[in-house]
Structure 1
């Protein structure tokens, strides 16, 4: 039964239709507003425009439908497995808020409000989810499915650059309490400055005579990391524990590849055991192992760049986190200068 309006003279109006500044407006339950006709229109005209608007609205695709279309697109299929997984997680946050709305009704102010509320819990995740949503709208805009990208012009939160450096003691603490899977992955990531996704995707066909062939999933850079005794040991870890029954270097007992979530469960367990045994905080991520590798690599910034596979020295600088030891001024230095 329709709710009685405050102004009894408006009881004739269709559900969720209100007087705007210059026109009658219908406000769908899923958000937004649709102009019907001017305020001087007859009641019959308002009802006619309302019924037409409802019919057109029900034909349109919701934001959830748009996101699902993106997930079925060639653009999405060409993304790395890790990025696909991330996007689906971001969608699980976006859809409950925007899923039932029409894409055309979403405005920058709605994105800003979402960011502010989500940012109270995690500014980083708010940024990632907004970037994903913008990617969907950009894809849709290029195909004529939407007329604008409401995420454009909405500022992201400023993120503090990570500066965590894993000490040798911290590394050894986790390594000693880890299962063979984690130990092997840690060594490959650290000694090759490789991302987690690239380590988990590594197949035995990429173990060359000269070293380990790695094509970075993020940058596409191709390298062969020369063998060392530690790397030879690392690539045998899983096979020695689970059997030589997989095409992957890092694999489960069944021989199948680890998902990121499954791997991270083991990583968190190893870190928790090490934390309990040593009392160390161990507040670092698996991705910080790549930074430790670059930081510990002996050489100039150019040489570190060649080792890491980054395109610029500036990118390398964000991973080079070891605190430098510099000389200080001594009395002897000062007296020599005065002489």
Structure 2
């Protein structure tokens, strides 16, 4: 937590800090070599009564911490998480309709509107949208390097994306801060500010989707699998097929039976 956590992304730091507090209550005073697979399984069982997803995340953090302990010479026993299965998680399949998007957009803070439009036009993750700087815009293209995969993309600035970028750049902005998305005071729009403002707009509009669902909406609305795969940065076409198909389902033709004269 002292040496590794500060090197991670802010959102990961926040999540890990929350997970660690709970793990520390249970395992903090136990000698590390005495922690057994049974202890991990029991933690999952009890924690899963409240949240199965969080139980899985906390187990994953414990496993990471234990692996560091092995690498640093604190213990040489097998990671007790090995062989302990977490809870099965259902893949997210939420599709955001145009009506839902507009309903939330109209009630949102202008910075959230800009971030939503950028995310929808580019099909990028929130963190990748927030880190765009003006220098990424050159020669009619928007250059993006995805945080999660390291995948590099160049997206043509045309159509709606061109309009969105022009609208953002036309607003009063700091000349020393080069981040594309800025607060009215010229500071960079942070993940936490975006999340807070988005949640307020969601509550006000009565729409339940999450900001991350815009990535899937963009890819699904393209309706060209090769185009969607390129935007998402997926290596495999099959991944894109699953990602988009689960949102709206396969498009199939109905049975046609000619009636009797």
After TM superposition, is the score higher than 0.5? yes
The equivalent residue for 1:327 is 253
Name the CA distance, whole Å, in 2 between partners of 1:120 and 1:259. Answer: 33
Measure, in 1, the Cα distance between the counterparts of 2:101 and 2:65: 39
Asked which structure has the greater CA Rg, the reply is 1
Match of 1:224, SS state, is strand
SS of equivalent residue, structure 1 residue 173: helix
Aligned partner of 1:145 in structure 2 is 74
**Structure 2 partner of 1:252:** 183
Cα distance between partner residues in 2 of 1:102 and 1:228: 59
**Is residue 72 of structure 1 aligned with residue 3 of structure 2?**
yes
Unaligned runs of 5+ in 1: 1-67, 276-281, 333-339
- CA 258–99 in structure 1, closer or farther in 2 if over 3 Å, else same: farther
1:1-339 counterparts in 2 under 5 A? 68=1, 71-73=2-4, 76=5, 79-148=8-77, 149-235=79-165, 243-245=173-175, 246-275=177-206, 282-299=207-224, 301-320=225-244, 321-331=247-257
Judging changes above 3 Å, is the alpha-carbon distance between structure 1 residues 236 and 86 closer, same or farther for their aligned structure 2 residues? farther
CA positional deviation for 1:238: 5.3
Q: Is the 8 A contact 2:111 2:189 kept in 1?
A: no
Q: Classify the secondary structure of the residue corresponding to 1:139.
A: helix
**Rounded Cα–Cα distance in structure 1 between residues aligned with 2:168 and 2:50:** 38
Deviations 1:249-271 (A, max 9, x none): 12223433333222211010111
Residues of 1 paired with 2:18 and 2:127: CA distance? 16
Contact 1:181 1:238 in 2 (8 A): no
What TM-score comes out, normalization by structure 2 length? 0.88
Aligned-residue offset at 1:170: 0.4
| 1:15-54 C-alpha deviation (Å, 9 max, x unpaired) | xxxxxxxxxxxxxxxxxxxxxxxxxxxxxxxxxxxxxxxx
Partner deviation per Cα, 1:231-290 (whole Å, 9 max, x = no partner): 234335556556344321122234333332222110101111111xxxxxx222111110
TM-score, normalising length: structure 1: 0.69
Partner-residue secondary structure (3-state), 2:143: strand
Determine the C-alpha separation between the residues in 2 that align with 1:185 and 1:107.
45
Relative contact order (alpha carbons < 8 A, sep ≥ 6): 1 or 2 greater? 2
The alpha-carbon deviation at position 81 of structure 1 amounts to 3.8
Deviations 1:36-83 (A, max 9, x none): xxxxxxxxxxxxxxxxxxxxxxxxxxxxxxxx3xx404xx55544433
